[in-house]
Chain A
Amino acid sequence: MNQESRKSAHTHRWRNRLLTLVSLGVFALYLLWAEHNASDYVIRILNNTAIFVTLAVSYNLINGITGQLSLGPNAFIAIGAYTSALLTLSPAEKQLSFIIEPIIWPLSVIQIPFIWTLVAAGIVTAFFAFLMGFPVFRVRGDYLAIVTLGFGEVVRAVANNLQTITNGPLGLKGLRAYTNLWWSWGFAVFTVAVVVRLIKSSFGLAMKATRENEVAAEAMGVNAFRINMLAFTLSAFFQGVAGGLLAHLITTISPTLFTFFFTFNLLTIIVAGGLGSTTGAVIGSVLFSFGGEWLRAVEEPMEIFGLDIPGVPGMRMVIFSIILIFLMIFARRGIMGRNEFSWDWLLERSPLSRVFRGGGK
């Protein structure tokens, strides 16, 4: 590499950072506008999208980048949601909700600010994932899938039965709607930034090496167990925090919310976006949230050419499952494959490319 090209790589990096910051700024302005002008419905979809971006990008870290098909995110989201919710409710509210059996002691008196409950949600969830990782990474492939799915069911059974902590099937009600556009998008952007940096670091290379060939990666000095554990725990951290945000968006949580169904949706998102692509995970989440709302039409009664067609609840899930199967058969690489968005790529293709290249050559 000669002096000149090194210099140009350097300016490119600064140009790209600047472009990223400018786009984030524009997006923040949009959120500011939306906060005051958009309808509650649109704001809700935007919040949902942000939480799905967080979940999908972190889920992609373990499934797509590290290549271990975990089916446990619903468990992590549940742990995060419960942790955060139990800490924001006031002692009086908790006493009121726990009607079958009273809540156990330390939890019954603690109440801390929202942001710390999110931190706690992340840490507690990551800790559970760390413990789970020891048995989980003893196995590989489809066994790993089924063990993580099993953990999901165990967590749900615990949430249903551990009356004194989770309030059982009644769940937790009356949470404050702390989650607004700034919380949800702020954390989504943070997650994407951390995951992108991580993937570009040597850890990211080790993760990809583990995905491609674990034995070869080990031979090159990668400790596959540690790398898997890192991806698993980190992804659980983000999912835990997202669970906390979700709980304070919908304000009511119960064990039925965190079924395998949740994991299925996330899996569809990252497969559609392209397994292994962070950009794909973001695109997938946006398509899923907005497409899902758009598809809501099929579940409502409608009139086509004078024919009254009654609404069919559940039709959306039929469509999503068919999409997933078709993607697997005909477009296994999804929208992005394993490619990522980059400014260089975009500018190369845009008519503005000459301007940005500074008119050189």
Chain B
Amino acid sequence: MDLQLFGQQLINGISLGALYGLIAVGYTMVYGIIRLINFAHGDIVMMSCYFAFFGYALFNLPWWVAFLGATALTTLLGMLIDMGAYRPVRSAPRISALITAIGVSFLLENFALVVWGGRPKAFFRPDIFGQVVTLGDVHIVLLSIWTPAITISLLLALLYIIHRTKAGIAMRALARDMETTRLMGVNVNRIISLTFALGSSMAAAGGMMWAMKYPQVNPFLGVIPGLKAFVAAVLGGIGNVAGAVVGGFVLGVAEILLVAVAPALAGYRDAIAFVVLIVILLFRPTGIMGEPIVDK
């Protein structure tokens, strides 16, 4: 592989990884606090794409208004799912919560299928993301530069919230010990809601960029990015926000480069992430940046 092709693929990998990272943040935050794999997270990504699509195509909103509106709606959806489905099973065994999450995931997918139909809809791509720049011999769609840039800035904002604000401190305290935090006068449910809100808004950002990258939306669009983002979250050390983004980058670059080196494996692309997951869980279950898991 020559240098030019390598550069091209590296950029593709980084931009794909940035998307995995953005989605992974939502998984890792929720898991860090309530120890639940939010199966529906990938479908929240899908819903954000439909919201943006309808804002733009049906209501003729300017693209940035459509994007902001979709982000707001997705954030609201995330909080509603937490309140309606997850809060009632919070004191139940963890397996019950997980089954509930699987139910929510199927509900969202089939809701989208019933209401919006199964045929993929073409997603729009504003010029600011769609133009192609040439750097030496490498052609880059602007979206591929925007994606990591947006991911990094959102991550920095999120890290600020988690480490510098009162709500963020409460969030970290909750991850350590929910009961003690409750005794300290923290409104636990509100903080969990906030976690879902933050995770869902990041998912919305990731989702809309995903839809612009493969310019179409369909009801099952969230499944594969959702599963891979989960792998990224485990790779980075579940519960660790920066780790999730690093894990996303590692997974994205590994996937693209592997396919570039061995095109024969292209069909196994979606399976690669799971092989990575199985290997990590076997040899380093705490991920790249995770703290050791303590058996309670």
Contacts and interface: CB of A to CB of B under 8 A. Distances in A.
A145 B110 contact: no
Contacts of A142: 35-37, 94-95, 98
Contact of A154 (B35, B231, B274): B274
Nearest to A67: B95
Contacts of B231: 150
B156 interface: no
B88 interface: yes
A181 interface: no
B43 to A, nearest CB: 11
A97 interface: no
Interface string A56-96: 00000000000101000000000000000000000000000
B114 A139 contact: no
Contacts of A158: 268, 271
B72 to A, nearest CB: 25
A237 B79 CA distance: 42
A153 B224 CA distance: 10
B104 A332 contact: no
Interface string A116-147: 00000000000000000001001101110111
A313 B111 CA distance: 11
Contact of B107 (A145, A146, A157, A318): A318
Nearest to B274: A150
Interface in A287-323: 312-315, 317-318, 320-322
Contact of B106 (A317, A328, A329): A317
B275 interface: yes
Interface in A27-44: none
A221 to B, nearest CB: 21
Nearest to A150: B274
B263 interface: no
Contact of A147 (B94, B110, B278): B278
A158 B265 CA distance: 11
Contacts of B131: none
B274 A153 contact: yes
B149 interface: no
Q: Main SS of the interface on chain A?
A: helix
Interface residues of B, number: 40
B62 interface: no
B268 A157 contact: yes
Contacts of B258: none
Nearest to B112: A314
Nearest to A68: B95
Contacts, number: 110
A325 interface: yes
Contact of A324 (B97, B102, B271, B274): B102
A328 B107 contact: no
B196 interface: no
A40 B20 CA distance: 48
B3 interface: no
A241 interface: no
B92 A332 contact: yes
B96 A135 contact: no
A319 B275 CA distance: 34
Interface in B262-278: 267-268, 270-271, 273-275, 277-278
A207 to B, nearest CB: 16
A125 to B, nearest CB: 19
B159 interface: no
B92 A328 contact: yes
A141 B94 contact: yes
A161 B268 contact: yes
A154 B95 contact: no
B85 interface: yes
B221 to A, nearest CB: 15
B57 interface: no
Identify which of B94, B110, B113, B234 gathers the most chain A CB atoms within 10 Å of its CB. Answer: B110
B94 A321 contact: no
Contacts of B268: 157-158, 161
Contacts of A315: 110, 114
Contact of B282 (A67, A138, A317, A329): A138
A267 interface: yes
Contacts of B154: none
Given A135-B278, A141-B95, A329 B114 contact: no
Contacts of A69: 95, 98-99
Given A143-B281, A329-B100, A264 B274 contact: no
Given A150-B277, A264-B102, 5 more contacts: A67-B95, A138-B281, A142-B95, A314-B118, A328-B92
Interface of B: 35-37, 85, 88-89, 92, 94-100, 102-104, 106-107, 110-111, 113-114, 118, 227, 230-231, 234, 267-268, 270-271, 273-275, 277-278, 281-282, 285
7 contacts: A154-B275, A314-B114, A314-B118, A320-B106, A325-B100, A325-B104, A329-B88
